[in-house]
């Protein structure tokens, strides 16, 4: 997957950053709200000042021009909004963590089977919200 694949609107992602001492090390379960240009990012941050501080911490070959890259608007689980430059993200640490519910229908299950299956699910760290034997 490319960086753009991860940064699609609505994705819930987690990642680490190069300038951890400036903007924080780990972004956990943040929702991608938008990709922005520098002018739009100015509504949330000062891209020029941040770039001056962040650039020395980026890997070699990173653009030394805050106009040369995009910014991503992120919503934290607590509702706070953050905007960061996309080169500030460590690509190898990106993961999509969209979470939902899983519904499984298993045929020919006895009461005993049900207990074995539920125990296996719980033993693997999952919480069962509801079961129904029909």
Domain boundaries, the chain: 3-96, 101-134
DSSP code of 56? G
pLDDT exceeds cutoff 80 at 117 = yes
Mean pLDDT, residues 21-33 taken together: 90
Q: What are the strands, taking DSSP E only, across 1-132?
A: 12-16, 26-36, 71-75, 81-85, 95-96
Residue 22 pLDDT > 90, yes or no? no
User: Does residue 65 have a pLDDT over 80?
Assistant: yes
User: Is-above-0.75 flag for pTM?
Assistant: no
Inform me whether the pLDDT recorded for 103 exceeds 80. Answer: yes
């Amino acid at each position: 997957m490319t960086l753009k694949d991860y940064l699609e609107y609505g994705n819930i992602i987690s990642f680490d950053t190069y300038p951890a001492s400036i903007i924080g090390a780990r972004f956990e379960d943040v929702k991608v709200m938008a990709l922005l240009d520098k002018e739009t990012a100015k509504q949330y941050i000062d891209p020029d000042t941040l770039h001056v501080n962040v650039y020395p911490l980026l890997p070699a070959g990173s653009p030394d021009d805050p106009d040369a890259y995009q910014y991503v608007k992120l919503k934290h689980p607590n509702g706070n909004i953050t905007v960061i430059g996309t080169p500030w993200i460590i690509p190898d640490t990106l993961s999509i963590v969209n979470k939902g519910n899983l519904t499984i229908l298993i045929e020919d299950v006895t009461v005993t089977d049900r207990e074995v299956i539920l125990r296996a699910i719980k033993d693997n760290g999952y919480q069962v919200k509801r079961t129904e034997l029909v």
